[in-house]
Amino acid sequence: MRVAFYGERGAYSEQAAYELFGASAHLIPCRFLTDVFSTASGKADYGVVPIENSIEGAVTQTYDLLLNSKLQITAEHVLRISHCLIAAPGTDRSSIKRIYSHPQALAQCREYIEKLGADPVPFYDTAGSVKMLSSEKPADAAAIASERAAKLYGMDVLAKGIETDKHNYTRFFAVSSRAAKAGNKTSIVFTVKDAPASLFHALNCFAQNGVNLDYIQSRPVLGKPWRYNFYIDCEGESAKGNLKEAIARLKEETAYVKVLGTYMKARHGVV
């Protein structure tokens, strides 16, 4: 099993991939989200990408890539995220002036960074920032990433659990060119018509068919300012029962509909 994931070795996406596919999976690190989608379309069987964080919300680029990709969502996974402050061996925490990490991780640890009085520096990946510091070993810089990343790159953990809210979770999607065989949850994207109450009529398709919606997210339609694509997660299997009827009705009420995938809802609940 070949699985592409977003980030370097030690990234949270790598941990999610292992938990989804097991330790025997051959994992392929990808520097950019676009690389995960392209790799999963060719060299890999699956890709694992973050979709939403409980503190900072949607990973919007993933939604945009799902819209234009032929890949299907085949699984979801919820991972508890515990951030660490990581630096080169011997670094004094009081000397840290810069903290590198992915923008989402920096935002999740905003209060800690402000109390430390350091400047947040966006980087392409949490584990990637640790890898970079392990090579350069600056005396006044640190990174935010997982404890596993620190071990992988021979760095010191100066503080653990530095996220602003301890109920910090990230939801991941597995994507593949092969649809899942079964599922109890479906993701859909649609664009409403330019008409009064169009969003109400679209959502009413689900209400009238007794389909429960778990999530809704809007994203701009490129090239059409102030027009939006709406992404929803709902209960049910797209090809069966009430949800099948709701989607059929949705196609009549909207300008565009795409089923992104039916999959099993994540087993790991939030505590």
Kindly report the CATH number assigned to the domain that includes residue 39. Answer: 3.40.190.10
Let me know if residue 269 belongs to a domain. Answer: no
For residue 111, pLDDT beyond 50: yes
How many folded domains does the chain comprise? 3
21 Cβ contact list (under 8 Å, min separation 6): 1, 3, 46, 174
Which residues constitute the domain of residue 42?
2-81+169-176
What was the pLDDT predicted at 271? 42
For residue 225, pLDDT beyond 80: yes
Tokens found for residue 118: 């350091």
170 carries an active-site annotation: yes
pTM of structure:
0.93
21 carries an active-site annotation: no
- Integer Cα distance of 143 and 29 in angstroms: 19
267 confidence band (pLDDT: 50, 70, 90): confident
Of 169, 91, 129, 119, which Cα lies nearest the Cα of 9?
A: 129
**Residue ending a domain, choose from 97, 127, 160:** 160
268 confidence band (pLDDT: 50, 70, 90): low
pLDDT more than 90, % of the chain: 96
Q: Are residues 55 and 32 in the same domain?
A: yes
Catalytic residue (one of 21, 37, 172, 190): 172
Helix (H) or strand (E) holding 169: strand 169-176
Catalytic residue (one of 170, 186, 191, 262): 170
